[in-house]
Amino acid sequence: MVSKQKILIVDDDNNIAELISLYLTKECYDTIIVNDGESVMPAMEVQEPNLILLDIMLPGMDGYQVCREVRAKYSVPIIMLSAKGEVFDKVLGLELGADDYIEKPFDSKELVARVKAVLRRYKPAAATTEASNDKSVEYTDLTINLTNYSVVYLGQTVDMPPKELELLYFLASSPNHVFTREQLLDQIWGYEYIGDTRTVDVHIKRLREKIKDRANWKIATIWGIGYKFEVRSDNA
């Protein structure tokens, strides 16, 4: 029997948390509810959730700090929930490692669709099997494997959320091809994601913090257009 995926719901308003739990339970997910930021890390260790729905406005430790602490140790997808709809708040959440951002009040169908979309993209290495048609690209000092969602840089495995890895893979699998921000937003986030092109810039910034340019390749900015994975002709 296939085990259900677990969703950790973090919201200090228990009525909202219970309502979200009801929506997700109907879609055959298991849910865990905590009402404060301090309870998240202990819940992560015990419950090992597949995704976190994280409210920003929490008592004590707010959602931004929780996101920072979770991301320092886990690559589990995070969807932030907040009544704050300003671009600054969205960008800050994405910079700290969130995979998506939903404004309150939200439609239940949209919430469920976002959860499903993020989980479809997240495939831990332990849950995949070897296949002859592995989706991977390899350059000097860098291997990106989309089959088991892993990145090896300078011989070390680099933890990164699903969308960061997908963005890196998409660029690296088409070396020297320039993509606009709109094309990248459409390819990686799809029609299910309602966002702006700054989302792409934030994820590129996070990739550059983890994957530094090498002599034979780099993530290049094409000013006024977008980005490309630039590779020199002598690179393997």
Spell out the domains of the chain, with CATH numbers in brackets. Answer: 6-122 (3.40.50.2300), 130-231 (1.10.10.10)
- Global confidence as pTM: 0.61
Q: How many CA atoms lie within 13 A of 221 on its CB side?
A: 10
pLDDT in tens, the chain (236 residues): 457 899 999 999 999 999 999 999 999 899 999 999 999 999 999 999 999 999 998 988 999 999 989 988 888 999 999 887 677 777 788 888 888 888 888 888 889 988 988 887 775 544 444 444 568 899 999 999 988 889 999 999 998 888 899 999 999 999 999 999 888 888 887 655 555 678 889 899 999 999 999 989 999 999 989 999 999 865 44
Please confirm whether the linkage preceding 105 is cis (ω < 30° from 0): yes
Residues 6+ apart with CB under 8 A from 95: 202, 205, 206
**Which H or E run includes 139?**
strand 136-139
Q: Please, which residues bridge with residue 33 across strands? A: 9
Residue 20's CB is within 10 A of a number of other CB atoms, namely 23
